[in-house]
Structure 1
Amino acid sequence: MGSIFRFKRFEVDQSGCAMKINTDGVLLGALAKYNHPGYVLDIGTGTGVIALMLAQRFDTAKIDAVEIDPQAAQTARSNFNCSSFAERLHLIQGSFECIEAQDKYDLIVSNPPFYVNSLHNPNDRKKLARHTDHLFFHNLVRFSAQALKNDGILQLILPCELAVEVVDIAQADDLVLVEEVKVKSYSDTEYIRSIISLKKDGTCKQMTSSSFVIYDDRGVYSQSYRDLLSSFFLTL
């Protein structure tokens, strides 16, 4: 497969990116929720695919995308500039911690590295993209609590066990779980991911939970998956 991934309304060059387009990213890009966000931040944008999907979905939103890896940041910037959403997309090369938190964002999303305290990948750039530790999530939550508007939402896609830990971490910064989408590959298998929505406003209503199944059979996407991604993918 070439380095260019073609969507219906944009293309993504994946060259120079340690982490390629994956199911986690496109699920978050398609399932992230907020009513008419004005300002969005994508943390760890990689190829830029999530930011591009959100630019397509939210046609008035201004989107900042931060990426710590210089080569991936250069690729994402090029992908943004080649898209019809270029004027609403802004690439920031560096750590999210270099962004001045100022109650700015309605929505913050991230498909973060999640191999917490595991054996590190010998490839330095893949290690940077895939591995992290608990301090990363403490910092991410603390930053988000400061950078979100009063009714803002932080949405992350994580392995289920890690999602539980992050929800606990978030409570210390007054971010509470308001929605969870639990993802499984097949209807009869265990859940593998959780998309969690953490809201800044402490007067949130009761948390809602739902499930999402990717495949009906091996190599056969579920109708839910096809419906969700039909406005993005050329074929499913």
Structure 2
Amino acid sequence: MLAQRSTPDVTIVALEIDEIGVEQARENVERSPWSERIEVLHRDFNEFQADDKFDVIVSNPPYFVDSLACPDLQRNTARHNESLTYADLLKGVAGLLSDTGSFTIVIPTDVAELVKSMAANYQLYASRQLFVITKPGANPKRTLITFAFQAQECQPEELLIELARHEYSEEYIALTRDFYLKMA
């Protein structure tokens, strides 16, 4: 999706800790028209090092904290933040991000203020915050936050996904139509 929305000179490095996830991602990349611009690495973010800084970092990290674990180890690694805490993620991002770069994360809304506070410890400041609302009247369960090293006023936004069951909002259709056939 990043390659699809970026200019042809952009290269993308994708990290995945799960070996099966790496295989699936590499398969998908090979079948895409952007395969020359995407590299999928089997790496733990906590151990990742790079020679150059990144202009953009995007993360959908493990987000369950102190919640009931699943018997499936692969699923636990993907969903529970024991292997990558928010503090570890933010510290790593601060070391990998260019001075003018941006970092966007998707997290549960109930930890958004905590994550913004933690990010400030690494001189990362929220510039945009998108509250994702699944249906009218529902509280947002997920939030996307974009951070940068430059402190600025954070612009809150909302995205409503469904107006009714399987009836998607115009904003959601516009956002996803390039990725989902049912949105065409």
* TM-score, length-scaled by structure 1: 0.73
Any unmatched runs of 5+ in structure 2?
A: none
Structure 1 CA distance for aligned equivalents of residues 12 and 163 of structure 2 = 34
Query: Cα deviations across residues 139-191 of structure 1 (Å, max 9, x unaligned)?
Result: 11001001000011110111111122111111111101111011111221111
Question: 1:226 matched to which residue of 2?
Answer: 173
Any unmatched runs of 5+ in structure 1?
A: 1-52
Q: How does 1:83-102 map to 2 (within 5 A)?
A: 83-102=32-51
Note if contact 2:46-2:84 (Cα within 8 Å) is conserved in structure 1.
no
Question: 1:55 matched to which residue of 2?
Answer: 3
Question: 1:110 matched to which residue of 2?
Answer: 59
Question: 2:110 matched to which residue of 1?
Answer: 161
Structure 1 CA distance for aligned equivalents of residues 102 and 142 of structure 2 = 19
Note if contact 2:125-2:152 (Cα within 8 Å) is conserved in structure 1.
no
Note if contact 1:184-1:213 (Cα within 8 Å) is conserved in structure 2.
yes
Two-structure CA RMSD over aligned residues (Å): 1.5
Residue 98 of structure 1 aligns to which amino acid in structure 2? E
Structure 1 CA distance for aligned equivalents of residues 41 and 84 of structure 2 = 22
Question: 1:20 matched to which residue of 2?
Answer: none
Question: 1:235 matched to which residue of 2?
Answer: 182
Structure 2 CA distance for aligned equivalents of residues 76 and 99 of structure 1 = 18
* Cα distance change of structure 1 residues 149 and 103 upon mapping to structure 2, 3 Å threshold: farther
Match of 1:190 among 139, 155, 160: 139
Note if contact 2:77-2:83 (Cα within 8 Å) is conserved in structure 1.
no
Name the SS for the 1:156 alignment partner.
strand
In the TM superposition, what is the alpha-carbon distance from 1:192 to its structure 2 partner?
Answer: 1.2
Note if contact 1:107-1:154 (Cα within 8 Å) is conserved in structure 2.
yes
In the TM superposition, what is the alpha-carbon distance from 1:75 to its structure 2 partner?
Answer: 1.3
> Which sits farther off after the overlay, 184-193 or 125-134?
125-134
Residue 138 of structure 1 aligns to which amino acid in structure 2? A
Residue 165 of structure 1 aligns to which amino acid in structure 2? L
